[in-house]
Amino acid sequence: MRASRVAAVALRYFYLVRGSPVRLLPMIAWVAIDIVLWGFITRYLGGLTRFNFVATPLGAVLLWDFLARVMQGITTAFFEDVWARNFLNVFATPITIGDYLLGLVLTGIVTSLLGLAAMLLLATSVFGLSFFAYGVALAPFVFVLFITGISLGIVGTSIVLRFGPASEWLIWPIPSLLSPFVGVFYPLATLPAWMRAISRLLPPSYVFEGMRAIVTGKSARWDQLAFGSVLSVLYLVAACGLFAAVYSYALRTGLIARYSAETAN
Amino acid sequence: MGSAPGEAVLSAEGLTKRFGALLAVDGVSFQVAPGEIVGLVGPNGAGKTTIISMVLGILRPTAGRVLIGGIDVAAQRSAALERTNFAAVYTPLPGNLTVEQNLRVFGLIYGVKALSARIEALLADYDLTRHRRTKTGVLSSGEQTRVELAKAMLNRPKLLLLDEPTASIDPSTARDIRARIVDFAATEQAGVLWTSHNMYEVAEVCHRVLFLSRGRILLAGSPAELIKQHNAPNLEELFVEVAHEALHPAAGAQ
């Protein structure tokens, strides 16, 4: 792995954003809309009961959006190569899969932090959300969601590399498909047994269960958070393995060449 | 980081690629020496781009191997490709980056030392200085080809792969580009593997020609030798004759 190659992947995205600042909008606009919408819902619900709605649904929305932004930051940077038909240019160079993935992840980190900053600003200044309420548990919360977002981003890029640009529509709904299982807005006990079985395999489930425990005055289950953290790291390793396997398949079948050439003669 | 004296910059040994039932490349072996320009010609579907893709490490051979400067691409891909570069008509650089940004991004990927100075030199060499802040996608085809060639020269490659570098550009620009490539091969002692359907171009710039059909090398030799051996008026007529025979062997035998 070489730093200059990793930097090149991230620099390309920086150039794109600088050349077309409208690319900043999706990083900020959708999360801002989510926070405003859920902020007013929680404010309304807060008026009906003494339950801390701000720290639960609004905090949950913010954390879940953070995960989705990390994933989308990685996949969007990857899509820039798809849209520009740049695969052959990139992969016919000394760049390694590790360089390329790390470059995408760096890009995802920066873009998701921009979104997180916008969300935090809105949620704290307008709706009075305080992350201090979560205490030190906030660190594993963010860690698990961050690592899971990276894994989902890498899985998304693997799907597109394997099935082609038309599979783009499969990528964007992934967070929405997972959200019912991870209990973003309700305790996992609400779910039927078969859904709970799936939830136990999803690291963010432990974050949202922990978050609700803290808000209701209990302490987070550290053993479960540790389990969720280990699980998320295992999924990250598996996601990298998946990308490597798909890349190897692409080398064997000529997928990369076909991404750039209309016909391979 | 150059090749050892006398060592081929490119060795293809028994290269074979099979896509299911289709044998796209069938045990092709050839070498490219330092400073040598080798033309890889043949009809559509002959396997030219498949060979180039295998040399560039983006397509894994079913059998055989590729050595660049003695380094096996399959075993040490990054080390082998650090001394290689390419330009192909079907792989334009990202049109939403400026000329300078494209050169900087690819310069970093290739680990070019003193990158800013190298970019300045290439911008000047390829008459691109006034376009440095222009998005690559809005340039004319000739200008885009010059940008792709500038990118291909960034790391002073010991092996340069060119897949129809002058396709779809005007004759004057094409002549200019041919001259630059010939000069680069001579001064840097770089080997060049050049595919083209323009036989006049191949005859003008290539020291040696490999005529490919159905994944096999049918003919090999210098353009002058091939024309003489086959008693053809020129390389294009030879191409048409051999391609017709290769594609319609029964008709050729009659």
Residue B117, H or E segment: helix B115-125
Cα B59 to chain centroid, rounded: 16
Structural domains of chain A, count: 1
Query: Stretch B135-153: mean pLDDT, rounded?
Result: 92
pLDDT of residue B239: 86
Whether A252 is in a domain gets the answer: yes
Segment among A39-48, A57-66, B78-87 with least mean pLDDT: A39-48
Structural domain contains residue A228: yes
Q: Is residue A197 part of a domain?
A: yes
Largest CA distance in chain A: 70
User: Taking 80 as the threshold, does the pLDDT of residue A46 lie above it?
Assistant: no
A265 within a domain of the structure (yes/no): no
CB of A4 within 8 A of CB of B109?
yes
User: Residue B107 is inside which H or E element, if any?
Assistant: helix B99-109
CA B156 to each of CA A90, A148, A235, B160, B237: distance values in angstroms, whole numbers, following the listed order: 17, 41, 41, 9, 35
Give chain A positions within 8 Å (CB) of B91. Answer: 85-86, 88-89, 260-261
What does pLDDT average to over chain B? 90
A151 domain-assigned? yes
- Tell me, what's the pLDDT at A97? 92
Residues on chain B touching A248 (C-beta within 8 angstroms): 60
pLDDT for res A52: 66
ipTM score of complex: 0.87
Asked if residues B54 and B29 have their Cβ atoms less than 8 Å apart, the reply is: no
> How do residues A141-173 score in pLDDT, each as one tens digit?
889 999 999 999 999 999 999 988 888 888 989
Q: Is residue A36 part of a domain?
A: yes
Beta bridge partners of B22: B19
Distances A155 to A78, A84, A159, A244 between C-alpha atoms, Å: 12, 21, 6, 11
Query: Please, are residues B17 and B61 in contact by the beta-carbon 8 Å criterion?
Result: yes
Q: How far is A247 from chain B (nearest CA, A)?
A: 10
Instruction: Reply yes or no on whether the pLDDT at A264 is more than 50.
Output: no
Taking the CB of residue B157, how many other CB atoms lie within 10 A of it? Answer: 23
Quick check: B106 and A8 CB within 8 A?
Answer: yes
* Residue owning tokens 């896509």: B19
pLDDT of residue B250: 54
Q: For the segment A165-202, what is each residue's pLDDT rounded down to a tens digit?
A: 888 888 989 999 999 999 998 899 999 999 999 999 99
- Is residue A53 over pLDDT 70? no
Lowest mean pLDDT among A55-59, A102-106, B3-7, B21-25: B3-7
- Residue A259, pLDDT > 90, answer no
**Which run of H or E residues covers position A242?**
helix A222-253
Average pLDDT score, chain A: 88
More confident residue, B78 or A212: B78
What local confidence, expressed as pLDDT, does residue B246 receive? Answer: 65
**Parent domain of A121:** 3-260
Name the residue in chain B with its Cα closest to that of A7: B108
CA dihedral B92, B96, B102, B105 (to 10 degrees): -120
Closest alpha carbon within chain A to B47: A265
Query: What is the mean pLDDT of the segment spanning A43-68?
Result: 80
| Complete domains list, chain B, with CATH | 1-83+197-254 (3.40.50.300)
Residue type, B201: E
Q: Which residue of A has its CA nearest to B95?
A: A84
